[in-house]
Structures are given as C-alpha cells and as structure tokens.
Amino acid sequence: MKHPVLSMCVCCRNAASRVEDTLWSLILQTADFNTYEILVIDNASDDIDQLKSLIMNMGNEGHKIRLVEEPNIGLSYARNRGVKESNGDYVFFIDDDAIANARLAEHYIKSIEEHKPDVIGGNIFPLFAVQPPRELDYSCWGKWSLKHFGDSDRWLDDGEYFIGTNIGALRKLLITHPFNSELGRKGESLVGGEEWYLGDSRFRRRFVAGAYVLHKVPGERMSTNYFAKRSLGAMHQQGQKIRLLQLLIG
C-alpha cells in the first residue's frame, strides 16, 4: 500500500458482536483502497479472541484490516494509540456501532486535497432499532450522539464542533494535541467529550456533507434511565473541562 491519505480508526471494547457492520462499511468504500487504511484499536476487551477471528476471516477474503491492542482502558487511550499506529496524513474516527456511507472516504479525501483543513467531520444520522416514542424528537439527538450541520460543505462557525462518532484531524495535530485521558469514556461510563478541544476556533474545521454516517440507536437508549446517565455524564464532562481550563490558565 502506498502512503494513505486517511487512516480510518475504529476504537472498541467488547464489541466483537456489533463491529462487523462498521468494518464492512469501511471496506466497501468507493475510494481507492490505497488512499486509506483501516485500523481496529481494541481496548482490553474480554472478547478479543472473537474480534481476532472476525478480522482474520475478513483478511482471508482479501480485506486488509490492522488490529492494534491498547491495554489501558479508556477511549482517549485507544484513540491516542490509533494516532500513534496510523500512517495516514489524517486520522478519522468512527464508533463501533456506526455505519459509514459508501462515499465517505472519497468525500473526505477530496475535501482534504482541496481545502487542507485541520479538522474534518460530517453529519450523524440515526439508525433506530425500533420506532422512537413521539416525545423523543430532534431535541434528543445530542443524547444519541447524532449531529446535523446541513446539506452543503462549509467551514464551521465559532461555537460549532464535531463529535467523536464522525470526526477526523491532521495526524500531526493529534500528535501535538493528544486526547486527554481525564476525559472520554472508560468501560461502561457514558462520560465522553474527549474530542471537545478540536472545536477550538484556532483550528480550520471543515464540514463535509457527503461524508455522513448512520449511528445505531438501540431500544434501550430510549429509556429514561439512559437519558439520566447521559445527563450525569455531560455534567461530569463539563466539570472536567472547567478544571482543565483552570489548569491551563493557571
């Protein structure tokens, strides 16, 4: 493989039963396979043997997927490991329960070549397992890690930011500005937001409309218990951000 433009990383923990759809969506991209690579970063999973078997079977069919094991539990650790192991000019992250549209890599690579952004991202649409209750409308999208920026490519305005289900950045930026391990999900925790700093207006952030993903929303994520956990996670995440900013300011 020649030097890839894009390293596509799937960070997962105990995800062997759900990640196959994600991997197929990356394998079946319309972009030249030499322009991107696929990495799976396993985060100390209990089902690592099943994951290895899945990736080996895909490899036997001629599909190149590289598996990396990160022993420190936490999404930030896994993402930083993905950055370290990647070969692309840009590193892209997709959740292990999301499905990339077939032209995602093609659209991102075209935008990278034309605009040279620091950060790239796209829309995240729902793929509901069951019909959601009527009261759970568009206002709930944030709790489901969904995002809609419009239908045309553009630069993000101040205050806008991408989220981790569909986001990428220059590898050299992620090397100098790694994900903070004090933020991000760990194990079963729903505290996220480790990518929040990539929304800084100092970075040129390009929205690419054609590079969208579908994010699976299972029935249990429509419960009041799930929404309560996400709300608590958001409160904790905000507190962590404030403490980090205080440390930076001194």
Distance CA 91, CA 6 (A): 6
Decide: helix, strand or coil at residue 232: helix
Tens of pLDDT along 166-217?
999 999 999 999 998 776 555 454 444 556 788 888 999 999 999 999 999 8
pLDDT at residue 241 greater than cutoff 90: no
Mean pLDDT calculated for residue range 89-96: 98
CA distances for 232 relative to 174, 218, 235, angstroms: 28, 20, 5
Residues 120, 208 contacting (CB under 8 angstroms)? yes
pLDDT at residue 235 greater than cutoff 60: no
Distance CA 127, CA 98 (A): 9
What pLDDT does residue 59 have? 80
Radius of gyration of the chain (CA): 17
What pLDDT does residue 118 have? 98
Distance CA 9, CA 246 (A): 31
Tens of pLDDT along 72-85?
999 999 999 999 99
Q: Which residue has the higher pLDDT, 61 or 4?
A: 4
pLDDT at residue 230 greater than cutoff 80: no
Question: What does DSSP say about strands 205-207 and 119-121: parallel, antiparallel, or unpaired?
Answer: parallel
Residues of the chain by 3-state class (helix, strand, coil), percent to 5: 40, 20, 40
Distance CA 185, CA 109 (A): 29
What pLDDT does residue 119 have? 97
Which are the contacts of 155, defined by CB distance < 8 A and separation ≥ 6? 117, 204, 205, 206, 207
Helix (H) or strand (E) holding 229: helix 224-249
Can you list the domains of the chain with their CATH numbers?
A: 6-249 (3.90.550.10)
Tens of pLDDT along 96-135?
999 999 999 999 999 999 999 999 999 999 887 766 666 5
Distance CA 33, CA 78 (A): 24
